[in-house]
Amino acid sequence: MKTSLLLKPILICVCSSVLFLTSAAQTAKVLTGKSYVNITKGLNGGTIEPGDTLEIRATIAVGNFDARSVSRAHYVDTIPANTTYIPGTLKMLTNEGLEFKAYTDAPGDDPAYFDPAGYLRINLGSTFNAGVDLGGACNNTTPWSAPNGGLIHASGRPSFFGGVCIISASFRIRVNPSMTYGSFIYVHGGSFYFRNNGTNVNSPCNAYTIALKQNTGLCANAIGANAVIDYGGTFGTGNTQNRATSAIVPGFLFQSVAAGQPNDGSYSIVNNMSPSGNTNPNSPIPNATNRVHARWDIMGDHTGATDPLAGNLPVAPGANGGYFVAVNAAYANSNAIQQTVGGLCPNTYYEFSAWFKNICKYCACDSTGDGSYGQSGSTFFPNPSFNGPDSSGVNPNLTFTVDGVDYYTSGNLKYTGQWVKKGFVYQTGPGQTSFTITIRNNAAGGGGNDWAIDDVTLATCTPNLDLRPSPSLQVCVGHSIDMFANIRCYFPNYIHWRWEKSTDGGSTWSNTGVGGIGTPVLNGGEYEYQAPYPTFPATTAVDNSQYRVRIASTLSNLDDNSCSFAATTIITLTTQNCTILVQADIQAFSGRVVNELAQLQWTAFNEANGTSYEIESSTDKIHFTKIGTVDGNLPGTNTYHFTDPRELITTRYYRIRITDGKTSKYSRIIQLAGGNLEFAVRSVVNPFKDQINIEMTTPDNTAITITLLDTYGRVIKKTAATVYKGFNTLSIPNLEKVLPGAYIMQIQKNDQIVTTRLIKN
């Protein structure tokens, strides 16, 4: 897909009012922010759909200075259109989302009131300090009207380590079930009102636009090229621990990792989280020397990890390692990732995803100010007085937006010590070729909300094109040729198709004029249709011709190679004059490179008298020359070997002509390569059924490990194999009991990993 990238100036808007203490004016420091949690989707996260319940949380933090406070504090908001207020949900919460005070909806009986006309007011105040004032009985929703609102003291509760009071005004709404996908919910900003050092302050919060979208999950099959910049969203590699700032992390202050950095509202880009360069993830907790804030994880990045849930180990100082972003989020809902992407394809599905990790197991602070860990002298211990729900504190919660519209929330990221992938699939409009993607911090606080992000992805969801018969079709002259393509897509938009033909070994392709519009039918979780090629007679004119299918979401996209998909598998036609095909069959044909020579091996059965095998080679996969003959043996199944005496310097193709002196037929074509070979997968039969067939190259004789994972990173099957320099054919058998769906295959050789996405039918 197109990946031309455009960066635009970025405007960061956060709901915050910041007032600093000075010697001339004893003014409290105040921060405000607003977010929401999709209660229906829970920890798994997802898109917002009709019927979902959202909890709105508007947070105010007062403090950092003893004996500082704001008075007449209250919060006023409006219920969004096309949603319904859920009765009895007016509350004051801690910044971890725990209930601190619960109120009725009625007027005049407590500090909160819900007006059935769709307005609400919550008076706010802290406890455990002199002059406790929760705001009095509320009987209206008018700002500044009596009762005046409450007193929030910096040392009051709910407390953040005794120096900051953090309160969330909260209520719940339900998206009306009658709403349709593609419509929007406009969440009002709401506003905090308070008096600070004699001055009335109105601190409006940011509004949100939420798109209602079906929760379809991520791409079930492979994805295309990544359009995210900064090393394709991996943030690159390097041998210095701290990397420079990133152009796609706009909402936080950049700081290098140190014992107390990154601090609230800041981020770092590192290949090892430990300030001292310690590489032991199991180093004692807490430790102010080896761990950020004495408690953060010691860890490496995620890119290319053998175990995608565990990620990579941190590298030693001076060693080369992959970078990742570590964020210390605060009260404001700042943008962690933002980029404008151009050159997109209309009416096309894109996966927008990233890998995240909660990086602090013991960063919590309960409403009384007690942390999850205590200290006596130089001894640290779990704090028995801690009364919070989670030792990690505020759980990260991320929102994914496109062009400023919220489409997906991650759900709370509990501390597990593992990475987790979050994201959704977005479809561009009929004429849309660009948009701005954003990942926004959607959790408030203080006491946790520390997280890592890596492998940010924006890539197309690619379909599966299964050509039949493939890879070769041998037909007698005069017989009919029948070909078709079975097209499977996770989404039903790739409906335009056409057949293409090559007569020069795949170097160039031309339109055959055969095409159409498919009608996808849902089958086994994917949309499927067939693209047939009209039956035609075999002639010598089509000998060695190759055919493939190209598909796209629009007719015009078929002519744009960046916005269409061509099958990676092809059909190669071989025609021959025959009345009866030779009886013998080749069961297996493979080759390897030994001492720069091509060694071929094949197994044959059902041989007749006079059977022989003529070995042919080619440098262009079109014009083949006979290089040797091996006589057949009788009876039963026999294995044969042949070594090409010519040094293999570049790529060479081989096939075997089986003949009994009267008729003949050909084996499949294999490829061997000499010189500087890559460790790479050349082809995989995809989708697979009972086994996975793989063709790959390697520059040396080596042991490899093949691992099949599901999309959650769980190991389905793991096997070891030995491959030899050159071209290798492998298979993973006994996969009958593997459930249909999307899988990831990883082939590892030492520290090299090749990853391929597969579909099980």
Q: Which residues contact residue 177 at a Cβ distance below 8 angstroms, ignoring those fewer than 6 apart?
A: 50, 51
Instruction: Decide: helix, strand or coil at residue 15.
Output: coil
Query: Over 50: is that where the pLDDT of 12 sits?
Result: no
Instruction: Band the pLDDT of 427: cuts 50, 70, 90.
Output: very high
Could you say which DSSP state residue 430 is in? T
Section 681-694 average pLDDT? 83
Most confident of 32-46, 120-134, 172-186, 442-456: 172-186
pLDDT score for 280: 97
Section 105-118 average pLDDT? 96
pLDDT score for 468: 81
pLDDT score for 145: 93
Instruction: Band the pLDDT of 339: cuts 50, 70, 90.
Output: very high
pLDDT score for 3: 28
CATH 3.90.580.10 correct for 680-760: no
Query: Over 60: is that where the pLDDT of 17 sits?
Result: no
Lowest mean pLDDT among 156-160, 241-245, 275-279, 407-411: 156-160
Domain ranges for the chain? 29-212, 230-461, 464-571, 585-673, 680-760
Instruction: Band the pLDDT of 67: cuts 50, 70, 90.
Output: very low
Is the fold of 29-212 the same as that of 680-760? Answer: yes
pLDDT score for 729: 79
CB atoms within 10 A of CB 182: 9
Cα separation of 746 and 307, whole Å? 10
CATH 2.60.40.10 correct for 585-673: yes
Could you say which DSSP state residue 43 is in? G
- Amino acid identity for residue 716 in this structure: I
Instruction: Decide: helix, strand or coil at residue 292.
Output: helix
Q: What Å distances lie between residue 487 and 172, 462, 465, CA to CA?
A: 44, 11, 5
Section 115-136 average pLDDT? 89
Query: Over 60: is that where the pLDDT of 66 sits?
Result: no
pLDDT score for 700: 81
CA 521, chain centre distance (Å): 27
Considering the domain delimited by 29-212, tell me its CATH architecture: Sandwich (2.60)
pLDDT score for 7: 25
Q: Taking all residues of the chain, what is their mean pLDDT, rounded to a whole number?
A: 86
CATH 2.60.40.10 correct for 464-571: yes
Give yes or no for a contact between 29 and 62, defined as CB atoms under 8 angstroms apart. Answer: yes
Give yes or no for a contact between 607 and 635, defined as CB atoms under 8 angstroms apart. Answer: yes
Give pLDDT tens digits for 737-758.
888 878 888 898 887 888 887 8
Lowest mean pLDDT among 170-174, 206-210, 367-371, 405-409: 367-371
More confident residue, 736 or 291: 291
Section 551-557 average pLDDT? 92
Give yes or no for a contact between 459 and 223, defined as CB atoms under 8 angstroms apart. Answer: yes
How many residues in the chain? 761
More confident residue, 656 or 333: 656
Query: Over 50: is that where the pLDDT of 11 sits?
Result: no
pTM, entire model: 0.72
Section 260-269 average pLDDT? 92
pLDDT score for 117: 97
Query: Over 70: is that where the pLDDT of 5 sits?
Result: no
Instruction: Band the pLDDT of 595: cuts 50, 70, 90.
Output: confident
Lowest mean pLDDT among 1-15, 469-483, 556-570: 1-15
| Strand stretches in 89-196, DSSP E | 91-93, 99-102, 112-115, 119-123, 150-153, 159-160, 164-175, 184-187, 191-196
pLDDT score for 393: 87
More confident residue, 33 or 675: 33
* Structural Rg of the chain based on CA atoms: 32
More confident residue, 96 or 518: 518
Answer positive or negative: Cα dihedral of 465, 469, 473, 477.
negative
Give yes or no for a contact between 485 and 531, defined as CB atoms under 8 angstroms apart. Answer: yes
Query: Over 70: is that where the pLDDT of 204 sits?
Result: yes
Lowest mean pLDDT among 36-50, 164-178, 185-199, 554-568: 554-568
Backbone angles phi, psi at 292, to 5 degrees: -60, 130
Query: Over 60: is that where the pLDDT of 734 sits?
Result: yes
Answer whether the bond into residue 492 is a cis peptide, omega within 30°.
no
pLDDT score for 14: 30
Give pLDDT tens digits for 438-493.
999 888 766 889 999 999 988 888 888 888 887 778 787 878 888 999 998 888 89
Section 516-520 average pLDDT? 94
Percent of the chain with pLDDT over 70: 91
Query: Over 60: is that where the pLDDT of 24 sits?
Result: no
Query: Over 90: is that where the pLDDT of 579 sits?
Result: no
